[in-house]
Amino acid sequence: MKGLYIHIPFCEHICHYCDFVKRVPKNQEMIDTYLQALRREIESYRAHFHTIETIYIGGGTPSMLSTAQLEYLLEGLKDIHPIEMTIEVNPESYHPDKGLVFKKFGINRISLGVQTFDQTLLKYLNRKHTNQQVYDVVDHLKSIGIDRISIDLIYAIPGQTIELLKEDLIHIKNLDITHVSCYSLILEEKTYFYHQYLRGKFESMDEDTEATMYQIVMDELKSQGFTHYEISNYAKQGHVSLHNLIYWTLGDYIGVGLGAHGFIRGIRTYNHHSLPKYLIEPMERNEIQDHNMLLQDELIFGLRKIEGVNLSEIREKYGIDVMMKYPQLKEKMEIGLIEIQEDHLKLTEKGIFLGNQVFMVFI
């Protein structure tokens, strides 16, 4: 499969934990100018259009675009016919008219940024929506026939309790959606929380509580009928994220937009992070990946999948025996972090909690 990732960097406000390429636009003209450049960049990949099977429009906040701006962007994709087309939506910037635009242009999957249902924690994260808006968005999307809905959740937020996390998961059950992406809060540089941390005003949750929360998430979502198919992702039958699977299986994808990166035929592409530079020439650089780089990425990303890495495929593709090339894996197996089942190297239940210890073997 081949994917197309489209980055919309604009936000109405900046979340305190976010380190993605983003900015609050000065005016609508700035957005329009950006979209024109974005359309030109998309068109430059026309030779790939017939091979693209997934499109993911992320950000930033794509749903903050006006209906006219969304139509303008999506018009540039009309000659691509993907199996899956996803757009990220923030509840407060959704409008039924935007949903109808999504439907008109073939968007069939929504990634809804919720993070938590506790209003105090939402304020702490600098999120602006209400729970009622979340329910209204989901109800409207279903009413127009867009029922592949994923919700993003964050756990291990400072101040979050086990009880609050369980309440979040009850909301997930009540919403009756098809996919959940659930991540622990990570302190990233160039964020408001990181600046607070440098001033001694941010304290991460302790590791034991974080691990307990992760276990609760896994157990509860399993009881709701979700399959845990990647470290942080859960899907009901037939509703895995095809686009994200491209990343985790080292498939080809085109990245367009400010700060976007892609991976095409063994070459990684990196776009400018500076908007003035992007408007002149989108791509900053590309890098050919050598044999070892590709192997490293395939093993790290592959082990994020719960099914793990197919050892025969790795042997055929790279001409190596993974266990012989990386002898430290034997130690990780002895302490119960990895196992081999049906010719797949995979994280154990214990290893899922300590995946970074395994990933470091390949770096």
Residue closest to 114 by CA, chosen among 89, 94, 85: 89
Pairing of strands 233-235, 252-256: unpaired
pLDDT bin (cut points 50, 70, 90) of residue 63 is: very high
Provide the pLDDT for residue 1: 84
| DSSP character string of 13-28 | S--TT--SS-B--SSH
Alpha-carbon distance 224 to 168, whole Å? Answer: 13
| Superfamily of domain covering 2-247 | Aldolase class I (3.20.20.70)
pTM of the model: 0.96
Tokens for 305?
Answer: 């999948």
Architecture of domain 291-363: Orthogonal Bundle (1.10)
pLDDT bin (cut points 50, 70, 90) of residue 300 is: very high
Tell whether the model's pLDDT for residue 146 goes beyond 90.
yes
Integer CA distances (angstroms), 4 to 82, 90, 327, in order: 9, 21, 37
Residues of the chain with CATH 3.20.20.70: 2-247
- Please state the rounded mean pLDDT for residues 20-34: 95
Q: Angle 67-75/96-104 helices, nearest 10 degrees?
A: 10
Provide the pLDDT for residue 356: 94
pLDDT bin (cut points 50, 70, 90) of residue 226 is: very high
Residues of the chain with CATH 1.10.10.920: 291-363
**How high is the mean pLDDT of the chain?**
97
